[in-house]
Chains A and B, each alone.
Chain A
Amino acid sequence: EMQLVESGGGLVQPGGSLRLSCAASGFTFSNYAMHWVRQRMGKGLEWVSAIGTTGGPYYPGSVEGRFTVSRENERNSLYLQINNLRAGDTAIYYCARETAAGDGMDVWGQGTTVTVSS
């Protein structure tokens, strides 16, 4: 069964840092581009990063410079480093697998919650 499991979320003070992890299983991780998508409470989906099999990373302008996505194919793992956390970063963070053809995200984790508060 294809599965993604996020971890690393928690309560962090403004200005702090956090590293989220996503463990993949049930598929050949190195063959797929991967994404991070976040969702603030009661709000819509917001794409925040992607890393390809050979290309990337990619970020929207709203997070560039503070978010760093990386992967370790040997560990079947995806990471998201978030620095200088702000209240607006409070959200559920999902990792997701891009389809083999590069059209959409077909496997999602259950999400990990990041709360930024003093």
Chain B
Amino acid sequence: DIQMTQSPSSLSASVGDRVTITCRASQSISTFLNWYQQKPGRAPKLLINVATSLQSGVPSRFSGSGSGTDFTLTITSLQPEDFAIYYCQQSFSSVLTFGGGTKVEIK
């Protein structure tokens, strides 16, 4: 199975900060990489798919980049509603895998 490794596992940031989360695949997955946001007690929400495609309704401060094995989720100006856990997920293989998650906390 393809392993997905996220870093960091958690970070503290302030409103207005630029935040970068990294996701690394154990093998090349082209751009078959998706990002989700999950808030406490809620189901995950798809933010970005195929590495860079922002879902409808997702603020433009979110962006994704990367291909092959290395990917990045960037939040350009962190807002109070962005404090959550973020997961990457590969859809290259028919056996899907998620990263371990990155918790974005308030500093």
Contact = CB atoms under 8 A, between A and B. Distances in A.
Interface residues of A, number: 25
B49 to A, nearest CB: 4
A82 to B, nearest CB: 18
A104 interface: yes
B44 interface: yes
A110 interface: yes
Interface string A68-112: 000000000000000000000000001010010111111011110
B87 A45 contact: yes
Interface residues of B, number: 24
Contacts, number: 69
Most buried by B among A35, A44, A58, A59: A44
Counting from the closest, the 9 A-B pairs by CB-CB distance are: A104-B34, A108-B43, A104-B49, A47-B96, A103-B49, A45-B98, A44-B101, A106-B46, A58-B94
Interface of A: 35, 37, 44-47, 50, 56, 58-61, 94, 96, 99, 101-106, 108-111
